[in-house]
Structures are given as structure tokens and as C-alpha cells.
Amino acid sequence: MAAPPLLALQDIHVALGSAPLLTGAEIAVSPGERLCLVGRNGSGKSTLLKIAAGMIPADRGTVFIQPGATIRYLPQEPDLTGYANTLTYVESGLGPGDDEYRARYLLEQLGLDGTEKPDNLSGGEARRAALARVLAPNPDILLLDEPTNHLDLPAIAWLEAELASMRSALVLISHDRRLLESLSRAIVWLDRGIARRIERGFAHFEAWRDEVLEQEERDRHKLGRKLVMEEDWLRYGVTARRKRNVKRLAGLHDLREKTRQRNGPLGGARLVSQEADISGKLVAVAEDVSISFDGRPIVKNLTTRILRGDRVGIIGPNGAGKSTLLKLLTGELQPDSGEIRLGASLQTVILDQSRSSLDPDTTLSDTLTGGTGQHVEVGNEKRHVIGYMKDFLFAPEQARTPVGVLSGGERGRVTLAVALAKPSNLLILDEPTNDLDLETLELLQELLSDYAGTVILVSHDRDFLDRVCTSVIHSEGDGVWIEYPGGYSDMLIQRGGAVKAEAEKAKAASAAAAPRVSTGAKKMSFKDKHALETLPGEIAKLTAEAAKLRRILDDPQLYIRDRARFDKATEMLARTETSLATAEERWLELELMREELA
């Protein structure tokens, strides 16, 4: 029989005022499972996670937790009130028998030393402390709501390795596609209040989602119904936009190739002619630029140029000076040495991801129009506010909704709509992907593809950088920045082993922090040696068997068509995954024993 779930939510109903949010949603988590919870902002993902964690009650439904099972929940806005410092906060999450050293290790890996006072923490530091608190006890189930927010790329790579090495079951909400693709083994999709599940990783989500929506459309046509509801347009529009975006990939590749040909040797760009500056083809040129703060080099001898139409990503660890470099390239800061030249007639718009410019009491319509009527000035064109709202996935009935009651992702879309309505030829984006759902990210990528001007962005989202950038400027340490043509993955290839070594270092650090098996043995037995040699083959066989069973369960109609086969395949998959986890754990134990004896 399949292992009983550690956590099960059944027939969950939640309403916000008179509007239903969840209408019979269900989710079950078995030992060692890796689920990603996806859905549009406002679909109830965080609410469902809070119900699972016991933070809030459901209006109706059943929550079952296996007796003795431990659950840890990472909120988006942690509260450290009442704790002396970050170490005491993290240690408060430990249970009897948990390793106190692990609390210090996790804080160190996340850039904290444990002495930080809660009153002095930034939002990002508070979230990193909360992340250390939920990881420290090695719970049975980890419920993580946007764990990569405010983490830099090295920290995200470390977190990915850390989560992969843990035996805890995971339920993960994240906009980071790479993290979801790496860790997830099943998908729970919240849509219109219900939860659909498929036993495959996130890499298969979009194709599965599109198939489900297209089947719904076919079923509606069979019933003789017309798709006239705006809600239908909002859902099916996602599929249409994604298919259009496929055609844009060729254009992005062409831009990257032109960037490679233009740049020549890395860092060797120079201002070509005054005519280019006057014509507006030139956006910014940095010639041998350096700047330091308190004797520490932030940018050292940087030479680069940015032309009209470029999409340049700035990446590096927290504290490397990304914001300083951004201010240099836009003329907000002057360098200590070298020269910055800006193009003529630049009109710059900065995307305010803090959303501080939004008045929570102003309606969506008035926010977009400035309260001047029913039209939005978009460049030189007048657009009716309802039509412009639809471009950003808002339904007409939301026009009179106060901005303050919108979800975080919806407010992100409002910020995008306001910023992109302003006339500009240079768009500055500082961490634009934080708190955006996957569909809003698709929208942002489409908008940037259509944008006729130049984009300079700071981001830690690897997939977003790959989909948007024609080049990236990467911090190599000690104030050295190098520009690489292409996106994040192209940068990895061009840097060769450097980034791979960083990732391996993160994995090694994670493995080193895990409790090592004290064997007490002077040598391995024949049985141990035989198991060490044969277990890789057994693991490969079990992995292939699990993949075969998942392919059977991928059929969305199997449950209805052949319930007995569905139940049998589900039971076999649970047994296979349990055997696989046991084999992997045994192999790791023996490998640690071999290393210890060596």
C-alpha cells in the first residue's frame, strides 16, 4: 500500500468577503515528496500554505496532520519581534535533539552572523533569518513561500543544493523557474479555486496547463457555448501570448549575436563617433571607469558601451555594488576616474518595485489614468483604460477596485502598467521579478520584447535573465566587472569552470554541514563494499521505474477512465520512491564511511 500522507487538506473552502477564493481545494503530501504549488497571484497559494501550517483556519474543510509529524513554514513577511538577535530567533525553531551548530552554519551561509538585532534588519535579512529557522530542524515537511526573494545568485545556488540534500518533503511556492525545475517532482495547480495535480516536475507545467485549458475550450464548444466571459480571455490569453513569444526567441538570438560581434574582446568597447551619440543610437559609454567607497573598490577599470535596443543584465552577489554600477551607467553617480558619456535625448523610467508610488485608496482606473477620465496616454496614443487593463491581465469589473486590496502580484502589474505608459527610451528595472507570479513574468517578458528602447536591469532570476538579456555584466570580485554576450546560461559557458566551481563549493558546504555518520569501524565489511558497488545500478533502475510510473500517471483522464490502474500505479510509485530514498540514503551512508576510512 502507498504510504499514508503526512499532511492532507480536503475540500478546503475560503472566501474573501463574498468572493470565493478556494472552493474545494485539496492537497496531500507524503514523506519525501517534492511539490510545487503554482497559480496566478490572488489564486490562494499562500492562503492554502497558511492553512496547512495552522496559521489560519479554513471556512470549511478538513486538515489532517500525521501524529508526530513536524512542519515548518516560511512566511513572506517574518516577524522577529521579541528576539534578542537572529541566532536566538533561529534557535527557537529547533526541537529536542536538533543540532544547535546547524543554526549557526545556516546563518553564516545566508550572510548573517547571529548577532544582528531584529530592529536593524532589512526585509531581505529578516527573510534570510527566517529561512535559516525553518531549515535548521530538518522537519518532516517544509512549506516555503517564495524562499529565493532577496537572495543573490550564490545564495540561491546554495539553497537549491541544500534543499536537494534534505529528506524533508517540500511544498514550494516560487517564481524562480530554475529552482522549481530542479526540485519539483509533482505540480499542484491552483486555478479558479480548485487544485489540480500532476505527478511530473515543473518543466512540464506549461504544456500541461495549456492542454487542460484547450480541452476546456473544446468541451465548451461541444456544449454549444461561446467563450464570451472576460475571465476566459484572461486565462486563454496566457497560452496565446506564450505561443507568440516563441517567435520572439529568434529575434533575441539575433540581438545576442550582434552583441557578440560588436563587443569583440570583452571589456574593449570604445565610443566610435560623435554622430552615433547625436543620432540616439548610443545610450551610455563607460571608459576605464572606477569608483571606491571607504577604500574598497566597487568598480575598477570598467569599459563598456550600451546601444539603443540592448537589454543588459547586472548580476553579482549582494554587496558587490550592482546598484552603484547601475547609478554610474545612468549618470546618477560620477566615477572617481574614467569617463561616463550618456546618449542624447534619453528619457528614463525607473520601475518602482517597492510600489511606494501607489496610493492604496485610489481605484485601479484612476491610478492608470491619473484621475483624468477614461483614457490612458501610452506614448503618443490614447488607450481606453479598460483595454489597457486587459493588456495587464485585469478584468473590467476591477476598474473601481482600490489598489490597496489587490494582491501583491496584481499591484506589481499596476506598477508595470503605470511605468510603461510613460514615454521613455531607457527602462531601469531593479529586481523586477520579486513577488510576481509566473503569468505576470510572462507578461513582463513580452512587454520587454516589444519595448523599442533600451533596458538595464538588476536581477537574481536566472531564467528571466536568459529570456530577456542580450548581455550580462557580472561581478568577478574586487571591483572587477566583465560583460558577457547572451543571458545567464551563456555567461556560465563563457566563464567556464569558475561558476561551476562556485556551485560545487555550495554543494560541498551543504554536504559538510549534514550530520556525518560516525561508523566506529576500522574497515568496511564485504557486504558494505558489495552494496557500495551495486547500489548505483539499483538506484538507476528504481529511478527509471519511477519515471515510467509517472508517465502513466501523467494521463489526466486515467483516474476517470481506469480507477483501478490509477490506484495501482499510485501505490507502486509510492513504494518505488520509498525504495529509491532508502537506497540513496544507504549509498550516502556507505560513501561517507568510505571517505572517513580513507
One-letter amino acid identity for 307?
Answer: L
Average pLDDT rounded to a whole number, residues 234-250: 52
pLDDT value at 428 more than 60? yes
Average pLDDT rounded to a whole number, residues 47-60: 94
Average pLDDT rounded to a whole number, residues 334-342: 92
pLDDT value at 184 more than 80? yes
Burial class (CB in 10 A: 0-12, 13-18, 19+), 453: buried
pLDDT value at 106 more than 60? yes
Q: What pLDDT is stored for residue 518 in this prediction? A: 41
Please give the angle made by the CA atoms of 68, 71 and 77, to the nearest 5 degrees.
Answer: 155
**Cβ atoms of residues 46 and 76 within 8 Å:** yes
Q: What is the band of 226 on the pLDDT scale with cuts at 50, 70, 90? A: very low
β-strand partners of 186: 35
**Cβ atoms of residues 205 and 38 within 8 Å:** yes
Burial class (CB in 10 A: 0-12, 13-18, 19+), 535: middle
CA distances from 71 to 6, 44, 92, 108, 166 (A): 9, 20, 14, 23, 14
Average pLDDT rounded to a whole number, residues 151-179: 90
pLDDT-above-90 percentage for the chain: 32
Q: What is the band of 247 on the pLDDT scale with cuts at 50, 70, 90? A: low
Other C-beta atoms closer than 10 Å to the C-beta of 187 total: 22
Q: What is the band of 325 on the pLDDT scale with cuts at 50, 70, 90? A: very high
DSSP sequence for 288-336: EEEEEETTEEEEEEEEEEEETT-EEEEE--TTS-HHHHHHHHTTSS--S
Q: Where in the chain is the domain with CATH 3.40.50.300?
A: 7-213
Among 37-51, 395-409, 434-448, the range with the most confident prediction by mean pLDDT is: 37-51
Q: What pLDDT is stored for residue 2 in this prediction? A: 57
Q: What pLDDT is stored for residue 591 in this prediction? A: 73
Q: What pLDDT is stored for residue 255 in this prediction? A: 62
pLDDT value at 17 more than 80? no
Can you read off the three cell numbers belonging to residue 448? 520587454
Q: What is the band of 254 on the pLDDT scale with cuts at 50, 70, 90? A: low
Q: What is the rounded CA–CA span in Å between residue 295 and residue 288?
A: 18
φ, ψ for residue 465 (rounded to 5)? Answer: -60, -40
Burial class (CB in 10 A: 0-12, 13-18, 19+), 152: buried
Q: What is the pLDDT of residues 479-492, one digit of tens each?
A: 999 999 988 888 88
Q: What is the band of 517 on the pLDDT scale with cuts at 50, 70, 90? A: very low
Other C-beta atoms closer than 10 Å to the C-beta of 527 total: 8
Identify the residue with better confidence: 249 or 36: 36
**Cβ atoms of residues 299 and 333 within 8 Å:** no
β-strand partners of 473: 314, 483
Q: What pLDDT is stored for residue 514 in this prediction? A: 45
Q: What is the pLDDT of residues 435-490, one digit of tens each?
A: 677 777 887 887 788 788 899 999 889 989 998 999 999 999 899 999 999 888 88
Q: What pLDDT is stored for residue 266 in this prediction? A: 35
Identify the residue with better confidence: 264 or 206: 206
Average pLDDT rounded to a whole number, residues 244-252: 56
Average pLDDT rounded to a whole number, residues 581-595: 75
Q: Which residue has the cell 507568440?
A: 244
Q: What is the band of 353 on the pLDDT scale with cuts at 50, 70, 90? A: low
Q: What is the dihedral of CA 89, 94, 99, 103, to 10 degrees?
A: -20
**Cβ atoms of residues 436 and 459 within 8 Å:** no
Average confidence score pLDDT of the chain: 81
Average pLDDT rounded to a whole number, residues 399-422: 82
pLDDT value at 429 more than 50? yes
Q: What is the band of 269 on the pLDDT scale with cuts at 50, 70, 90? A: very low
Q: What pLDDT is stored for residue 588 in this prediction? A: 72
**Cβ atoms of residues 508 and 545 within 8 Å:** no
CATH code assigned to 526-597: 1.10.287
Identify the residue with better confidence: 552 or 245: 552
pLDDT value at 502 more than 80? no
Q: What pLDDT is stored for residue 196 in this prediction? A: 93
pLDDT value at 233 more than 90? no
Q: What pLDDT is stored for residue 185 in this prediction? A: 93
The length of the chain in residues reads 598
Contacting residues for 597 by C-beta, under 8 A, at least 6 apart: 519, 521, 522, 523, 524
β-strand partners of 22: 14
CATH superfamily, domain 7-213, is P-loop containing nucleotide triphosphate hydrolases (3.40.50.300)
Identify the residue with better confidence: 406 or 278: 406
Helices and strands per DSSP (H, E), number in the chain:
20, 20
Q: Where in the chain is the domain with CATH 1.10.287?
A: 526-597
Other C-beta atoms closer than 10 Å to the C-beta of 383 total: 18
Identify the residue with better confidence: 435 or 4: 4
One-letter amino acid identity for 181?
Answer: E
Q: What's the sign of the alpha-carbon dihedral 273, 278, 283, 287? A: positive
Q: What is the pLDDT of residues 111-120, one digit of tens each?
A: 899 999 998 8
Q: What pLDDT is stored for residue 556 in this prediction? A: 66
Identify the residue with better confidence: 276 or 555: 555
Q: What pLDDT is stored for residue 115 in this prediction? A: 93
One-letter amino acid identity for 235?
Answer: R
Looking at 191-205, 206-220, 452-466, 556-570, which range is the least confident one? 556-570
pLDDT value at 513 more than 50? no
Q: What is the rounded CA–CA span in Å between residue 93 and residue 305?
A: 49
**Burial per residue of 229-258, b for 16 or more beta-carbon CB atoms within 10 angstroms, e otherwise:** ebebeebbbbbeebeeeeeeeeebeebbee
pLDDT value at 301 more than 90? yes
Q: What is the band of 59 on the pLDDT scale with cuts at 50, 70, 90? A: very high
Q: What pLDDT is stored for residue 31 in this prediction? A: 93
Q: What is the rounded CA–CA span in Å between residue 586 and residue 598?
A: 18
Q: What is the rounded CA–CA span in Å between residue 161 and residue 157?
A: 6
Q: What pLDDT is stored for residue 586 in this prediction? A: 79
pLDDT value at 515 more than 80? no
